[in-house]
Amino acid sequence: MPHGLLTPFPRPVPDRTLRVTCPLPRTQGDDADDVFTLARDIGICSPTWLYTGCVYGPQPGNVYAILVMPVLPDSTKRHNTYQAASTAVAPSLALYTAYRSGALTWRDFARRYLAELDAKRTGVLAQFVERLCSVPARYSGVFLLGFRQAPGGNEARVRCARRLLHAWLLDEVERLPEAQRPLLGRHVPQRLHLQRHAC
């Protein structure tokens, strides 16, 4: 399992071993980028280790669950347990509230949240990835939890911050439909151009 490589050592070891087995607490500039690269290279930030799901839905056994929301779940609703909560990498409360109230569309929310994640890259996100690297070896993966149920159980379609964070951590933001630019203006000139040549 990839996380077994990251077991902290009780005593100092040679520096080259630390780079391979356990990221040092580095969270500034290029060092933060090293944390992300290392986590991806050893499989911590990979689709076979990071999963997403709803805190109110079923979860696979033996996973380390982290709630990634700016607020805790409604205590009157029955929800699954989770080992940790992280508001630091969740959307800001103002952004979350604006989306929930209908003041922002999903696409606007997604773009702003992804911008927040980019701004947090060298700080709390690097620390969050280091925390992911320290998940005990007894777990078979990490589950990023949010509140929204996935439509038809399809996590690729859920409109929840957990999916955006997941894509960001896997360095797959460009694959998100929310990150794509509308192509509306491109197709009209091509059609006009083709019509001119058809005459």
Is 16 within a domain? no
Is 2 within a domain? no
Please write the tens of the pLDDT for every residue from 100-136: 999 999 999 999 999 999 999 989 999 999 999 888 8
Domain with 119 in it: 46-179
Q: What is the 8-class DSSP label of residue 5?
A: G
Is 3 within a domain? no
Query: According to the model, what pLDDT value does residue 42 have?
Result: 87
Please write the tens of the pLDDT for every residue from 11-61: 222 222 222 233 344 444 455 568 888 898 888 899 999 999 998 888 888
Is 197 within a domain? no
Question: Could you give the number of structural domains in the chain?
Answer: 1
What is the DSSP code string of 154-195?
Answer: -GGG--SHHHHHHHHHTT-GGGSGGGSPP-HHHHHHHHHHHH
Nearest to 154 by CA among 59, 64, 53: 53
- CB neighbours of 71 closer than 8 A, spacing ≥ 6? 87, 93, 96
Taking the C-alpha atoms of residue 51 and residue 192, their distance in angstroms, rounded to an integer, is 45
Is 13 within a domain? no
pTM of the predicted protein model: 0.73
Is 100 within a domain? yes
Is 136 within a domain? yes
Is 32 within a domain? no
Please write the tens of the pLDDT for every residue from 121-179: 989 999 999 999 888 888 999 999 998 888 888 888 899 999 999 999 999 999 998 87
Average pLDDT, the chain: 77
